Copies of this chain bind each other. A is one copy, B any other.
């Protein structure tokens, strides 16, 4: 059981986008260099978020990615489902219906208790993911890193985007 690296990358990217002005698009290449990750692969992950209507892609010059919805309306669950797919981690193949001691399929009217218990726990996991939004991550970002880091990041991003004014109000 392992989540792909793209989940971590895109969550950091969404945090950056959530801290930006809503109308400013950031190219995937800038996001990749900002986090020190491969540019081409991050682009592929951002496409998945674009398909899920989490971020919006702006083509052409001065284009890039920006949040498609307010950061308060995007949860961690949305991002994870967009990248890992809607399928559940535990898949019931109904092996109780196989083997020599199986009876007619009509006898298995109740769902498999093992699958039910596994899916119940998985639902708790999803509720836990849905409890945190991108906006929460942005708010926490101010306290977890010092002002030095924040200012340095803002300056670097503004420089890359060719924007004179700092994108985030202090």
Contacts and interface: CB of A to CB of B under 8 A. Distances in A.
A131 B120 CA distance: 10
How many chain copies?
2
Chain A contact residues: helix, strand, loop or mixed: helix
A124 interface: yes
B103 A149 contact: yes
A169 B127 CA distance: 41
B110 A145 contact: yes
A113 B144 contact: yes
17 contacts: A1-B2, A8-B90, A11-B114, A12-B96, A33-B99, A35-B96, A35-B98, A96-B145, A101-B156, A103-B146, A103-B148, A107-B145, A108-B145, A118-B129, A122-B125, A124-B124, A124-B127
Interface residues of A, number: 70
Contacts of A146: 103, 107
A8 B80 contact: no
Given A36-B98, A100-B33, A93 B5 contact: yes
A140 interface: yes
A163 interface: no
Interface of A: 1-5, 7-9, 11-12, 15, 33-37, 76, 80, 84, 87, 89-93, 95-96, 98-103, 107-108, 110-115, 117-118, 120-129, 131-132, 136-137, 140-141, 143-146, 148-149, 152-153, 155-157
